Structure 1
Amino acid sequence: MNAVIAMCTFCEVHGPRVIFTTQTYRIYDKDDKESKKLKFYGPREILEEADKRRLTGVGGERKECDGCESLGNVKYLSNEHDSRTSFVSARQPLTQDIANLLAHACIRSLSCELHLGKNGVCYFGDEVRGHVLSHAFTLKDAQARGIRRSCSFIVFMKDKQFLLNMCPFFVDNLRQVIKELQDFAEKKYNADEKENPQRAARLSSANREPHGNRETARGMPRGLPQITDEKHIFVRIHMWLVWILSAGARHFVESSATLDSPLSGFLIRYQDFTENPEFSEISKKKFVTTVLREISQQMSREHFRQLLFACLTGIQIVVRGPDSQALEILYALSSLVPKSCRRIQMGADEYKNINECNFLGEKDFLFEIFITFFSNQRNLSILAIIVPFGNPFLSNFYSHNRCILYIIIIIDAEILERYLGISSAILN
């Protein structure tokens, strides 16, 4: 997954600063999969560039204090040898261009953007500076201004659609990380208050030095290990963020057709798209809106909205039925997404994974696969079957659904009646 997760803090002396980043590096060459295990699954040029910047001092001219200093030159590395992936955490990203973009996003996250609601989540960005999901929060700090330190986690990507699709996943997991940090900080704050109440200490200090420096009266800003009283707090954060990036890459697939080489970082590549000749013939006879209107007339408004949502968010669409009608439906639904995101397979004799195609036309084997999938994946919700075309009994499937993994369009309902008894037995 081409994403960077960074932790930012507002230093009372130096302003918004990035103090921790975690980034994914992966070998994309298929020939390397048979190689032995490596210490780092990424381009060596990146490590050499990072070492050169550290030795020459490029990008490190700004002054820092304990409040915005974190790891120094220390880096944490975790490897997934099966997927040939490395996760690197450091004070700053290993490439200078990403470091500059994160510094800009950090300033916007803590100083410019308005986080609405209690969860403190907002999105901002553009095609030039990248797209950012920001989750702001505060940590209790007895020596901070207002007795709270402003912080945020930012998720940086170049793919806006992929970032917004993964927003619930990122928010839910980052919220757990934030809760852990706040619990550590709360425990340390309570201990400090029992030992030395800060209100009385600040009033006494202000009376002694009415014209003195505020930072001198409060003390210099403290680092995250001192605020949380956890010596290895950055190791914990590294493990949390590595899990988020690893789990996200396993369950949410970013089309490899839209990604360039690892050295180009986060740039989207728009490849030439070859139009299906059969789709070209359909486009001469019918408009996309006409086919979509025909589909909407065969289902309820709620089901049609779910179908459109699935197309736009990357959920696999499986169409079964006569070739002529299946082609029309695939043509209309695939037209809703960008050309570089269309992976269409017609007349498949076996099920194709979503990595291979997100629009699939298949034959009568559908329900055997549906039953096997449901019985083997107990931790996932069942498949949702939409467009019953005159089969109201399909409403039973929705009462058992918590999330939609695939949406299947049934044109010829006879095959459904053959397996209805088996499917109902599983659901009950």
Structure 2
Amino acid sequence: MNALLSVLHFCEVHGPSVLFCTQTIHQRKSTTLNLEALQINPQLASSPHSTTSTTASVPVQKNQNRCSIQQSPTFSSLSSSTSTLSQSSCPACTAQMPLINVDDAELPYKFEANGMITKDDEDDTVFYLGCRAPQQQHLYAAVRNACVRSLTVEFCPGKEGPILFGDDENGYVMSYIFKLRDSQARGKTRYYAFTMLMTDRIFLVSCWPFLVKVFRSTALSLQEKAEAVYQREREYRERHPPTSLASGSARRSSFAPTSPEQFLRRRAHTPMRSLADLLGIEDIYAQIHRQFSFILKSSARRRIEKVTKGRRAGPLYIQMMKEREKQTNQASETSNEDGPKWSKQSDVLCGTLVEPPLYSPQAV
């Protein structure tokens, strides 16, 4: 199944943005998997609690400054796309990848991975690649279009829930929009969305009940964690009110006018938090990648094309077919009696067709 799952977010400063994507990669058995640009931590690529039953496929060797990874042209174009996206300075618009620990004898250090990958334990040729953006440029354009439509154009009652849209050119999208509480955001709410993009509309519609169920359960889990962080911050602010606000309330009225420029400038001084900080989970994208891998694997099994034998013909059906064949033969005999006939007269056409002459080959 060729599908792509993604996490979308509406940033107050930059608008709709694509945070994270997971897609299925089919690798031939004769070639090796190239993950040179990914620099993946194998401990985070798979977990014993993962529902995907996948294992990490990245060999890491010690006494090296970087991960030693096999080479293949499959993932050669990933480094350019991920390096461009990593330049974004907004934490809310960038996915925080796992940190890789390098045990250097002189100076141990850490660096951020470019993505994550899991391997299907039942099929050696199937991998699930998770990174900030898709590999192919046309896929990124389709995901970007789905991001803008999901968070700005398409309407969902209550601004939460599933929606379906798309076309043959950009693919078909099933998007599940949900909210997360954030005490530092405008309206104390942040909007996110889970999307599945594929070209097969019938396949996507057939997976609709399963996708809605699993997206809803994942969104509810994230909302519970965000609500817990929101309540802790609220209790902390009640116990420790800001000193600047308490001292300035006596000198300045709360009804003083505020210009739009001051409103935007005040919010711009406080950068928006990332999803990991909003939920209090450092490896949130590793967990999302495992969940997306499970969804892709389960969705592919929900519809498998196969050839099945039909029912045997019953007695009534056989009798009807014999009667139909008999009527057809009678009609053909009647038409032959009334129609033109071949004449045995040579080269004479008298209301009948002339029998064509027969020629025998002669040796020259």
Q: Structure 1 length normalisation: TM-score? A: 0.53
Letter in structure 2 aligned against 1:48: S
| Structure 1 residues 323 and 96: alpha-carbon distance in aligned structure 2, compared to 1, 3 A threshold | farther
Moved more, 204-213 or 162-171: 204-213
2:128 to 87, 90, 110: 87
Q: State the distance in 1 between where 2:157 and 2:72 align.
A: 42
Aligned ranges for residues 245-394 of structure 1 at < 5 Å? 245-253=296-304, 255=305, 319-322=310-313, 325=317
**Which residue is 1:311 aligned to?**
none
What is the match of residue 167 of structure 2? 126
Corresponding residue to 2:281 among 230, 251, 266: 230
CA contact (8 A) 2:57 2:118 kept: no
> Once the 2 structures are TM-superposed, how far is the Cα of residue 178 of structure 1 from its aligned partner?
0.6
Using a 3 Å threshold, how does the CA distance of structure 1 residues 242 and 142 change in structure 2: closer, same or farther? same
The structural deviation recorded for 1:215 is: 5.4
**Residues in 2 aligned to 1:225 and 1:70: alpha-carbon distance in whole angstroms:** 9
Contact 2:82-2:133 within 8 A present in 1 as well? no
Q: Does 1:177 align with 2:218?
A: yes
Q: Distance in 2 between matches of 1:52 and 1:108?
A: 26
Instruction: State the secondary structure of the residue aligned to 1:180.
Output: helix
User: Counterpart of 1:18 in 2: which secondary structure?
Assistant: strand
Cα deviations by residue, 1:180-235 (Å, 9 ceiling, x for unpaired): 1111101100001101159x87x949959944243534822111011111111111
1:67 maps to 2:79: no
Tell me the alpha carbon deviations over residues 90-115 of structure 1, each in whole angstroms, 9 at most, x when there is no partner.
Answer: 11112222111101110000000011
Q: Distance in 2 between matches of 1:197 and 1:110?
A: 33
Q: Which residue in the other structure is 1:186 paired with? A: 227
Q: 1:221 to 1:160 in 2, by over 3 A?
A: same
Q: Point out where structure 1 has 5 or more consecutive residues left out of the alignment.
A: 256-313, 329-428
C-alpha change, 1:248 and 1:117, in structure 2 (3 Å) is same
Partner secondary structure for residue 93 of structure 2: coil
Change over 3 Å in CA distance of 1:27–1:63 after alignment to 2:
closer
Q: Would you say 1:3 and 2:3 are equivalent positions?
A: yes
Q: 1:165 aligns with which of 192, 197, 206?
A: 206
Amino acid at match of 1:65: C
User: Which residue in the other structure is 1:23 paired with?
Assistant: 23
Distance 1:28 1:46, change over 3 A: closer
**Residue by residue, what CA displacement relative to the aligned partner does 1:348-385 show, whole Å, maximum 9, x if unpaired?**
xxxxxxxxxxxxxxxxxxxxxxxxxxxxxxxxxxxxxx
Is contact 2:91–2:274 with CA below 8 Å preserved after alignment? yes
Find the aligned partners of 1:209 and 1:151 in 2 and give their Cα distance.
32
Amino acid aligned to 1:252: R
* Alignment CA distance shift 1:176-1:49 (3 Å): same
Distance (Å, rounded) in 1 between the aligned partners of 2:279 and 2:86:
28
Q: Identity of counterpart residues, as a percentage?
A: 26
Superposition deviation, residue 322 in structure 1: 1.6
Alignment of 1:198-217 (within 5 A): 204=245, 210-211=258-259, 212-214=262-264, 216-217=266-267
Contact (CA 8 Å) 2:86, 2:94: kept in 1 or not? no
Report the alpha carbon displacement of residue 89 of structure 1 after superposing the two structures with TM: 0.8
Q: Which amino acid aligns with 2:303?
A: F
Residues 215, 233 of structure 1: CA spacing in aligned structure 2 closer, same or farther, 3 A cutoff? farther
TM-score (norm 2): 0.62
Give the 3-state SS of the residue equivalent to 1:100 in structure 2: helix
Change (3 A) 1:248 1:170: same
- 1:77 and 1:88 in contact (8 A); partners too: yes
Asked whether the 8 Å contact 1:77–1:86 carries over to 2, the reply is yes
Matched, 1:50 2:41: no
Q: Give, in whole Å, the separation in 1 of the partners of 2:56 and 2:289.
A: 20
Mark the runs of 5 or more structure 2 residues left unpaired by the alignment: 32-54, 59-70, 98-112, 321-364
Shift of 1:64: 4.2
List structure 1 runs of 4+ shifted beyond 3 angstroms.
37-40, 43-46, 52-55, 60-64, 116-119, 203-211, 316-319, 323-326
* Greater share of helix: 1
Please state if 1:221 is matched with 2:272.
yes
Q: CA 1:220 to 1:118, structure 2 compared with 1: closer, same or farther past 3 Å?
A: closer
Deviations 1:365-422 (A, max 9, x none): xxxxxxxxxxxxxxxxxxxxxxxxxxxxxxxxxxxxxxxxxxxxxxxxxxxxxxxxxx
Answer yes or no: is the 8 Å Cα contact 2:56–2:118 preserved in 1: no
1:81 is displaced (CA, Å) by: 3.7
AA matched with 2:130: S
Map 1:133-148 → 2, pairs under 5 A: 133-148=174-189
Amino acid at match of 1:159: D
CA distance in 1, matches of 2:311, 2:303: 25
Q: Which amino acid is the alignment partner of residue 70 of structure 1? A: A
